[in-house]
Amino acid sequence: MASEFISGVAKRYLIPFLIISLLGMGLATSCGPGLQTFDKYGMSFEVSEKLKLEEYTVSIENQIFKKGTASYEEGCVMSTEKNFTLLWLTTVPQFSPTEVRFSILSTPNTFESASGTFQAKITGDLTTQRIADFEVTFAEMQFTLPGWKAPGITAVWYCPASQRTMQLILIHKQPEREMRRFLRSFSCG
């Protein structure tokens, strides 16, 4: 299926690039109580006001990841000084439970890079819960390179307002807490 192919390509090429670009930066502070709203491309969500967000243009099909304008279909916001990365991908139509599971579990295990061996792995069981108005399937992740490691999370849910399946990968010191905050404030149209 096209959606499985796109998801597989995203995880095989784009995600390692993101993680490697964060190499060498320690996990700084967690998000504070003040929030800012990211409200673009028909979606909005809240993140810590301490984050200096930079948008990135993402095209999984063309293997593009660069500073620039994101879109509703694919995008990334990053705050490197706080080690916060939020990458999203939306697809049509709604994923079946099998496709959701495949999308999460098909995360690649190992990549070789100039910086050493990059590893991304699921570190727990897949969990499905109702968070805000969404039925969300997620799994915690661990990203590592020699001398560097970061926790993360990947989540998949369906947004009825946009009739799209949303998938995100979040790298943060407290990824599950931040993902829940994201989903409680998330809206799409």
The confidence score (pLDDT) of residue 115 equals 63
Coil vs helix vs strand at 187: strand
pLDDT digits over 28-85, tens only? 333 446 888 999 988 899 988 888 999 999 887 777 778 999 998 999 998 877 778 8
Q: Are strands 43-48 and 35-40 parallel, antiparallel or unpaired?
A: antiparallel
- What CATH number labels 2-188? 3.40.1000.10
- Residues paired with residue 36 on neighbouring β-strands, in sequence order: 47
Q: How far is CA 130 from CA 18, 47, 98, in A?
A: 29, 20, 18
Determine the pLDDT at residue 169: 87
The pair phi, psi for residue 12, each rounded to 5°, is -80, -40
pTM: 0.75
Residue of 17, 186, 182, 8 lying closest to 91 (CA atoms): 8
pLDDT classification of 112: cutoffs 50, 70, 90: low
Q: What's the whole-number average pLDDT of the chain?
A: 78
* Tally of CA atoms within 13 A in the half-sphere of 78 that contains its CB: 23
How far is residue 152's CA from residue 84's CA, in Å, rounded to a whole number?
Answer: 10
- Model pLDDT for residues 164-185, shown as the tens digit of each residue: 899 988 888 889 988 898 899 9
Q: 6 falls in which pLDDT band (50, 70, 90)?
A: very low
Mean pLDDT of 105-118: 65
Task: Give the per-residue pLDDT at 25.
Answer: 33
Q: Is 146 exposed, middle or buried (0-12, 13-18, 19+ CB in 10 A)?
A: exposed
**Most confident stretch, 2-16, 56-70, 152-166:** 152-166
Check residues 182 and 145 and name the one with the higher pLDDT. 182
Q: Is 60 left (phi over 0), alpha (psi -120 to 50) or beta?
A: alpha
| Domain spans, the chain | 2-188
Residue 60 is predicted with a pLDDT of 73
